[in-house]
Structure formats: structure tokens, C-alpha cells
Amino acid sequence: MNIGKLIVFSAPSGSGKTTLVRHLLKQSLPLGFSISATSRRPRGKEKNGVDYHFLTPKNFEKKIQQGEFLEFEEVYQNLFYGTLFSELNRIWSEGHHILFDIDVKGGLNIKKKYPLNTLSIFVQPPSIEILKERLQNRATENNNKIKERIKKAQMEMNFASEFDFILINDDLKKAKKEVVQIVRNFLES
Ligand code: ADP
Ligand code: 5GP
């Protein structure tokens, strides 16, 4: 199998990764989204095999033991997320390059494993205050969960400089335009 390129989006929760990744997937670019596995429950309209592979904690653990993950992290207490090797195989065998929406540690791990083929992008919110507002407006987590995510965000911002590119997501229209340009340039390089 030919190894294609990997494009990693990492950022504190609420920065706008999902919004930007969805925008990229609508362009006519040869990209496929890596559907992560998670031990968290689906929320809202999320579908198994589309947004995530939703696994029970026991099944997630089994896949760890069987070496099925390229990387995995306990992103929040008792909530595991990871990238399955089967996703890389699926997307590359379709002749596409891979888009990842994963946490900061996972993103840097992928860059370490495929240094020449990976573009790592850190999506930065204009400020922690604005991040908090976005999470509150998104209204997918309760106040305690939002607090946990904000606390983690403060730590994650310290890793921004380790990424190939820092994309400040302030004006969404501008950020969308910028992200398409960065990815096009990388795919053509
Ligand atoms: P993430 O995937 O990083 O957790 P989302 O893409 O879900 O973030 O974005 C978090 C919330 O902020 C969503 O409700 C989204 O619509 C909104 N959002 C994203 N980018 C912007 C922006 N530039 N300005 C205002 N709101 C934004
Ligand atoms: P959420 O619960 O909001 O969908 O995601 C929580 C966090 O887990 C986000 O920061 C997201 O990027 C991260 N995440 C999603 N999939 C993976 C993965 O496969 N590996 C790692 N390390 N983090 C992931």
C-alpha cells in the first residue's frame, strides 16, 4: 500500500477544528477523514461509524491490547480516543490523503511517527474567553465539562509552537480561506 499524506488538526476543544475540517471535506480535494474510536457515548446527532467508532470501554481496551491503534489518549478522565490503523489503510487504499481531528498530544505523536508526510496545524482561538463563549454557545457539554475543557485548553496552548502551522480562528470566513490554501499547497508539494 502507498503511504499518502497526513494532515493533522489539533487544538483545544471549541477552537473550531471540526468546523474547518468539515469545510475542507466539502472542497474537491483528495481527502478522507480519519474516524477515530472513542469510549465516550454519542452526543446529539452523532452516528457510529460516521462521527466516531463508538466502543465500550472494554472493547477499547481490547483493541489497545491487540495493537490496533496508531495512537490513543485518555483525553478526558475515563474517556479514551484513538486512531485505528484500519482507518489509515482504508483512506490510503482509496487513494486519498488523511485528515485528522485529534488532541494535541495525539497530533504531535502522528507527526513523530510520519515526520516527512505530515502537516500539523494548530487551530488557535483568539483568546480563552472567546473559547469559553464558543463552548457555551455550542451547548454540547454541561458547565462542569466546559470547565474541564477550558482547564485543559490552557495547557494545550503551550504546545502551539511545536506545530508546523498556527492558524488563528478569529474571523471564520478568513480562517476557512486560509486553511484551504495551506492544505492545497501541502498536497501540491
Ligand atoms: P472543535 O471541533 O475544535 O471542538 P467546533 O468546530 O465544534 O470546535 O467549534 C466550536 C463552536 O464554535 C461551534 O459552535 C462553531 O460553530 C463555533 N465556531 C467555530 N469557529 C468560529 C469562529 N471563527 N467564530 C465564531 N464561532 C466559531
Ligand atoms: P469530542 O469529545 O469533543 O468529540 O473530542 C474531544 C477531544 O478528543 C478533541 O480534542 C478531539 O480532537 C480529540 N480526539 C478525537 N479523536 C481523537 C483520536 O483519535 N486521538 C486523540 N489523541 N484525540 C482525539
Among 7, 8, 33, 36, residue to substitute to test ligand 2 (most atoms within 8 Å of Cβ):
36
166 within a domain of the structure (yes/no): yes
Residue 40 within a domain: yes
> Is residue 1 very low, low, confident or very high in pLDDT (cuts 50, 70, 90)?
low
| Sign of the C-alpha dihedral computed for residues 71, 101, 11 and 181 taken in this order | positive
Pocket test for ligand 1, best of 8, 15, 19, 174 (most atoms within 8 A of CB): 19
Tell me 52's DSSP state. B
Kindly state whether residue 86 falls inside one of the protein's structural domains: yes
In a domain, 51, yes or no: yes
Do 5 and 119 meet the contact criterion of CB atoms below 8 Å apart? yes
Please tell me the residue having the least CA distance from ligand 2 atom 18.
Answer: 82
Give the Cα separation of 82 and 143 in Å (integer). 25
Mean pLDDT of the chain: 94
Ligand nearest to the CA of 136: 1
Residue 113 lies in a domain: yes
Question: What is the domain count for the chain?
Answer: 1
Q: Write out the residue range of the structural domain in which residue 147 sits.
A: 6-188
Answer whether residue 1 is part of any domain. no
- Residue 98: CATH number of its domain: 3.40.50.300
pTM exceeds 0.85 = yes
Indicate if the pLDDT at residue 84 is higher than 80.
yes
pLDDT, one tens digit per residue, over 4-36 is: 999 999 998 889 999 999 999 999 999 999 999
Exposure of 161 in the CB half-sphere (CA atoms within 13 A)? 1
> Which atom of ligand 2 lies nearest, measured to the CA of 36?
19
> Does the pLDDT of residue 139 top 80, yes or no?
yes
Which ligand does the CA of 174 lie closest to?
1
Task: Answer for the pair 156, 1: CB distance below 8 angstroms, yes or no.
Answer: no
Say yes or no: CB of residue 15 within 6 Å of ligand 1: yes
Residue 21 located in a structural domain: yes
